[in-house]
Amino acid sequence: MSGYGFYCAQLRYFARTTERISPDVAAMMDVLLAIASQVEAQGSYTVKAGDLRLAARALAGVAGLLQKHVLPEVVAAGNGRGEAQVRWTIDTSMEAMTILMTHADAPEGASDRTIALPRPPEVGIN
């Protein structure tokens, strides 16, 4: 979907460059790739009930990596557009992580959960 290309690219990059050192890590990276494909097609994504915790952990990992390693670089470079996109991804990923974990722990039992994304950041040319 228009406007979310940066987000899909970030998720795919993370999923493709992370070493799949265990079945859980491989499953999390597959979930990120599935999220990116759904967002690209429709601007939202649905996580299957059995993948809620995996997706939440994967999104928290994306947010953590961006917060620790990428955000300082884009800020130092004065890249306003990149900073807006990275901050949006961090915030959106952490919000989704909270929703998915809460849904996974619901007393009535987990079911598939759709995440509607907020509007992408409005960024200038920089």
Does a structural domain hold residue 55?
yes
With a threshold of 0.85, does the pTM exceed it? Answer: yes
* Domain tally, the chain: 1
Looking at residue 122, what is its pLDDT? Answer: 86
Does a structural domain hold residue 106?
yes
Residue 28, burial from CB neighbour count under 10 angstroms (0-12, 13-18, 19+): buried
**CA count, 13 A, side-chain hemisphere, 104:** 17
pLDDT digits (tens, 9 = 90+) for 21-68: 999 999 999 999 999 999 999 999 999 999 999 999 999 999 999 999
39 touches 4 (CB < 8 A):
yes
Does a structural domain hold residue 124?
no
Structural domain boundaries enclosing 60:
5-115
Does a structural domain hold residue 126?
no
